[in-house]
Amino acid sequence: MDFYSIRRPLVLILVCALANGGYAQDTLVPAIISFGDSAVDVGNNNYRATLFKANYPPYGRDFTNHEATGRFCNGKLATDFTAETLGFKKYPAAYLSSEASGKNLLIGANFASAAAGYDEKASVLNHAIPLSEQLELFKEYKTKLAKVAGQKKADSIIKDALYLLGAGSGDFVQNYYINPLVNKVYTVDQYSNFLVSSFTSFIQNLYGAGARKIGVTSLPPLGCLPEVITLFGHHEKGCVTRINSDAQSFNKKLNAAAASILKQHSDLRLVIFDIFKPLYDVIKSPSQYGFVETRRGCCGTGTVELTTVLCNPHTPGTCSNATQYVFFDAVHPTDAANRIIADELIVQGLSLI
């Protein structure tokens, strides 16, 4: 029996125990509200004039009705699995979609945008929704929610909702490492400090808008992404050590910033989810988790395919069984890998629920 077969029932048992601990509602939190990049985007970029879209095959081929919704995955994102584990029967809708209206707003909304990040300039260049704009859309959502639920209930939902933020990977992989206008001006340490400062401002502003339970994903092992191995791993057999070290250094800064924020707000719960270690463990010991391929994505050659550019309906050689792959394209995890990440989110985020 592999690790996943053991761990998943334990997570479900843990959540069931919580559910029997006095919660009268069907879900452990009233709503889930998400911000960030392509790791979290469920379709907002479908409505943006940007190259960073995933609303066409082979994306979504293992999702409900084999539908390409805009998720950068063959199936579900980690946040989708998290929502299911917390008792949600539907996923909070992409805010720019027509589904984000009426009673659907009661369970939250998703404001994430692929190619967004802590670096606002890069987000704008990518025609993504910058985090600052995502926050403004959230404020608009609050007004709509009050009209649907009434102000008292809306205030309760906003206060008790679970807020998720996933960003930062694109800032490094699609910006810093490949953009000489950035990496020739800033050291990686200086750029990390800049991004952490942006993170701090966003969390403070989100708190000011009413959020009290916030979970933030750390950087994954960036040096293990197939695209990064292709571009920067010519002299290494495994992951790119230098880039993984950069990610770990950033994560330490992120945790320090979160600790500083928590000292300022006694009523705030803020958790930094470590997704570096669980994903790195999978990549280093894939057979223990039921995987076969870790260095290539399922789509095409699996080495450089990312979004519209190379992973599309005409891409030859896309794998038939994505459950054996850790990555679907050259950057984003498969549905199977996202299940493992989601279990970590639940275990590490117990204080939020």
Chunk the chain into consecutive blocks of 10 residues (it has 353) and report each block's average pLDDT, rounded to whole numbers: 49 56 68 98 97 94 96 98 96 98 98 98 96 98 98 98 98 96 97 98 98 98 95 88 98 98 98 98 97 93 63 87 96 97 94 89
In a domain, 153, yes or no: yes
Q: Is 62 designated active site? A: no
Is residue 56 within 8 A of residue 49, CB to CB? The reply is no
Phi, psi of 338 (to 5 degrees): -65, -30
Q: What angle do CA 118, 264, 116 make, to 5 degrees?
A: 10
Is residue 29 within 8 A of residue 161, CB to CB? The reply is yes
The catalytic position among 41, 62, 329, 343 is 329
Domain extent, residue 134, equals 3-17+30-348
- Total of domains in the chain: 1
The catalytic position among 41, 119, 332, 343 is 332
- What's the pTM? 0.94
pLDDT score of 19: 52
Q: Is 329 designated active site? A: yes
Q: Is 38 designated active site? A: yes
CATH of the domain at 286: 3.40.50.1110
The catalytic position among 34, 38, 97, 198 is 38
In a domain, 175, yes or no: yes
pLDDT score of 283: 97
Helix (H) or strand (E) holding 166: strand 162-166
Query: Which residues are within 8 A (CB) of 351 and not within 5 positions of it... i.e. 6 or more apart?
Result: 269, 271
Distance CA 31, CA 33 (A): 7
In a domain, 215, yes or no: yes
Q: Is the dihedral of CA 219, 225, 229, 230 positive or negative?
A: negative
